[in-house]
A and B are shown apart, each in its own frame.
Chain A
């Protein structure tokens, strides 16, 4: 149980385009999902907290207009990187919080974004 999927697993795009990444909780409902960014050989950095039915909460230094988050249902959150640039290339990971399990987060497999 507690499986989280992400799609796509890998995406290459041209500079200036927008990319949407989906995060789904497959076997449980998640009112809260999280989006992280992981640079090579570094730890995960929280970008934003995604709450179902309300606006996301962004961490300091994360541009909310650049990283659009939508949490339309209890099993789906999306991250859209708008007008992507090479410096946005990174590994984006989502997690979903399993309610009633002590706020344990379960992580998706990540999405490797490469912006040319």
Chain B
């Protein structure tokens, strides 16, 4: 079975600081990778996704993520955060070919950006 781990449960940083959130997964086969964001009081929104091709993926709102196959990682980055990036971020993995295309979520990382 696949599993996803996010290393940081909480991150606090100031505006303009750089952000990197770690995500590692365990699955021996081919995967689709996602980062979702949940702003306070809102529903999950897709930030970016990786299926194939260039391992550096650019998403919305200035976020990007890099898939490193050898490390089973898909870390999320943003060079300069804003107060509005305060949210919870979830990494998710979909093992290709698995019955039902199920997403497995990491535990989430709460990010607080101080103005």
Contact = CB atoms under 8 A, between A and B. Distances in A.
Nearest to A97: B101
A67 interface: no
A93 B101 contact: no
B100 A57 contact: yes
A14 B83 CA distance: 40
A102 B36 CA distance: 15
A interface, size bucket: 20 to 34
B51 interface: yes
Interface residues of B, number: 22
A104 to B, nearest CB: 6
Interface in B62-110: 90, 94, 99-108
A87 B90 CA distance: 25
A109 B100 contact: no
Contacts of A42: 107-108
A94 to B, nearest CB: 10
B49 A106 contact: no
A45 B103 CA distance: 9
B34 interface: yes
Interface of B: 32, 34, 36, 42-46, 49, 51, 90, 94, 99-108
10 contacts: A32-B101, A43-B107, A44-B44, A44-B90, A46-B103, A46-B104, A49-B102, A93-B43, A103-B101, A107-B43
